[in-house]
Amino acid sequence: GQNIDQPTEMTATEGAIVQINCTYQTSGFNGLFWYQQHAGEAPTFLSYNVLDGLEEKGRFSSFLSRSKGYSYLLLKELQMKDSASYLCAVRDANTDKLIFGTGTRLQVFP
Amino acid sequence: DAMVIQNPRYQVTQFGKPVTLSCSQTLNHNVMYWYQQKSSQAPKLLFHYYDKDFNNEADTPDNFQSRRPNTSFCFLDIRSPGLGDAAMYLCATSRDPGGGAGAKNIQYFGAGTRLSVL
């Protein structure tokens, strides 16, 4: 079966660091994506991991462990504008389709 | 510059009245997708086109149809909208569907059309 799990909601303080976890079970794996989605808007691509390890891009980093079926998105120096939902999506190697999690709604407080 | 453009942003229709949502892209991507996303849920793939090849998801209701007259445009037709079809409809594009040879083939999304059914 296919399953993507991520926490429903998280809160953090401006300037802090937050880690959003994602675990997955798919019949075949060919890459993991993180998207940011502000309320009522389209998902925006943040990061892509296909090999184990950490990918860093400015304030955002994403980590992947294929053997554990696990990824996290790390957001540093949080800003108010980072308040959004963060979607984890896995590309199924057999179908090439993206399987999305339900998203983690992050609220950043002053 | 907008790359994936959806019109309209908001659409209100009546129960059973056909409605068409449109999507255009300036990326010259081969693949165009339509997703349905309900509040606090994951986007659900309805169908996609790889060039002119139409690929329907097994659980997409017959009420939903799609047309892709050319590379740039794709339409979602809802023949008889029901109350349960009220949702955000997202269009996305990618160069190719898969991740062959390590290709990212990122899906780029439009701003979405929020459909209300009265």
Model pLDDT, residue A94: 83
* Assigned token pair, A82: 């980072």
pLDDT at B102 over 80: no
Before A7, cis peptide (omega within 30)?
no
- Preferred mutation among B104, B114, B116 to probe A, highest tally of A CBs within 10 A: B104
At B1, is the pLDDT very low, low, confident or very high (cuts 50, 70, 90)?
A: low
pLDDT at B5 over 70: yes
Q: Please write the tens of the pLDDT for every residue from A14-54.
A: 999 999 999 999 888 999 999 999 988 889 999 999 999 99
Q: Please write the tens of the pLDDT for every residue from A56-101.
A: 999 999 999 999 999 999 999 999 999 999 999 999 888 888 999 9
Residues whose CB is less than 8 angstroms from the CB of residue B78 and which lie 6 or more positions away in sequence, other chains included: B13, B18, B19, B20, B21, B63, B64, B65, B85, B115
Give the one of A42, A96, A103 whose C-beta lies nearest to B42's C-beta: A103
- Preferred mutation among A98, A105, A106 to probe B, highest tally of B CBs within 10 A: A98
CA distance A72 to chain B (A): 18
Model pLDDT, residue A100: 94
Q: Please write the tens of the pLDDT for every residue from B20-48.
A: 999 999 999 999 999 999 988 999 999 99
pLDDT at A1 over 80: no
Model pLDDT, residue B99: 63
Instruction: Give the whole-angstrom CA distance, residue B94 versus residue B115.
Output: 24
At B100, is the pLDDT very low, low, confident or very high (cuts 50, 70, 90)?
A: low
